[in-house]
Amino acid sequence: MKTMTLLRHAKAGSDDQVCRDFDRALNAKGRRAAEVMGRHLREVGLHFDHVIASPAVRVAQTLEAFATGYGAVPAAVEDRRIYLASAETLLEVAQEQQGDCLLMVGHNPGLEDLVLDLVRDGGGLRDEVAAKYPTASVAQMTFEGEWADLAAGCATLVRFVRPRDLDPELGPDFG
């Protein structure tokens, strides 16, 4: 059984002094949300053999804050293909992986689309992902087989957690 956990980067600021989207940094709410999510995943016992991430600044900062809450995580391997990737590209990256438990950290809409492609029948959790995959949210899926076998419709969505599920002040109605 393989487990793939997808973490969307936390909330970034809209810094007018940053010229490139790639260089946008997290805001205070984003740092807090990533740390809360890390703490939650540690408390529920998730572990990761491998971490692969977009090299964008906001993703690196999300992983730093996540690790503050979670504790030690394997060093992330940055893969430029993940930056603003489509679901198809993310699937190709996942199919190249090793180990049993992967954490992939990236961007929307690719992460959301990947979940919806891999999980055809997820009931309420899948519907929540389809409604909105907010920043710093986590979707965890399992599937049988090898990473190279990962394909549309073969995964089961076992967890979808948004920061507001853990702390209401991290919801959309708070700054």
Residue 101's SS3 state is: strand
Give the pLDDT confidence score for residue 175 in this predicted structure: 46
Residue 106 tokens read as 């990236």
Give the pLDDT confidence score for residue 121 in this predicted structure: 80
Cα four-point dihedral sign 22, 27, 31, 36: negative
CB 36 within 8 A of CB 135: no
Give the pLDDT confidence score for residue 14 in this predicted structure: 76
- Taking 50 as the pLDDT cut, the residues of the chain under it are 175
Give the pLDDT confidence score for residue 1 in this predicted structure: 95
Give the pLDDT confidence score for residue 61 in this predicted structure: 97
